[in-house]
Structure 1
């Protein structure tokens, strides 16, 4: 399997293992020294066990579905549909894989909706 196919497969397995709360499978996808970052909150988690525990302990009724997965070499980008209780969100996730095919870095963006600045209504359409 080439790097791009492996990255795509790892991305789908990552989301599926989180959605299924399959912690052993998630653990098997991650490098020992995986780094997880959330730029909006400037939080970082280092290490496989800490990352798995973070997800296993995460509160609420949350669900993930991959809407789009793009892979290039040993990297993958995911656009996720996220549901937390009744709230729906989008998430953008970047994965980096090591030479062994394990996920070494996860960068998780949670874009928040906001009202656009005035003055460009003639160029845009709101939905």
Structure 2
């Protein structure tokens, strides 16, 4: 999965597409979106406003399931994090579910303060 993120960082959109099945489906539950098909997934990423970079924090794989966590700082839009759950079959991504958030977007409620530390 690191190769996917490396290709995105390099803006190698044909290389990103080569890692996806033609009928891959990727869901973004936080925004209520489903991206159907390799071309749509490539385009939605290629069209994202420039100014971002990708830092892979971790990748964990077991069989056909791969989980990745990345940080995506953007000069104008802040720092985002994504945790992605991928299904890989025959060497290509057939599906995924990505949870994107902007750091600081989810404020911790005051009632939890006695039990937590800020990170």
Q: TM-score normalised to the size of structure 2?
A: 0.88
Q: Does 1:125 align with 2:117?
A: yes
Instruction: Give the ranges of 4+ consecutive aligned residues of structure 1 lying more than 6 Å apart after TM superposition.
Output: none
3-state SS of the aligned residue for 1:49?
helix
3-state SS of the aligned residue for 1:13?
helix
Q: Does 1:97 align with 2:62?
A: no
Using the TM superposition, give the Cα deviation of residue 71 of structure 1 relative to its aligned residue in structure 2, in angstroms. 0.6
Using the TM superposition, give the Cα deviation of residue 80 of structure 1 relative to its aligned residue in structure 2, in angstroms. 0.4
Number of paired residues? Answer: 116
Distance 1:83 1:121 in 2: 27
3-state SS of the aligned residue for 1:119?
helix
Q: TM-score normalised to the size of structure 1?
A: 0.83
Give 5+ residue unaligned stretches, structure 2: none
- CA RMSD in angstroms, aligned pairs only: 1.4
Relative to structure 1, the CA distance from residue 20 to residue 116 in structure 2 (aligned partners, 3 Å threshold; closer, same or farther) is same
The structure with the greater share of residues assigned to strand is 2
State the structure with bigger RCO (CA 8 A, min sep 6), 1 or 2.
1
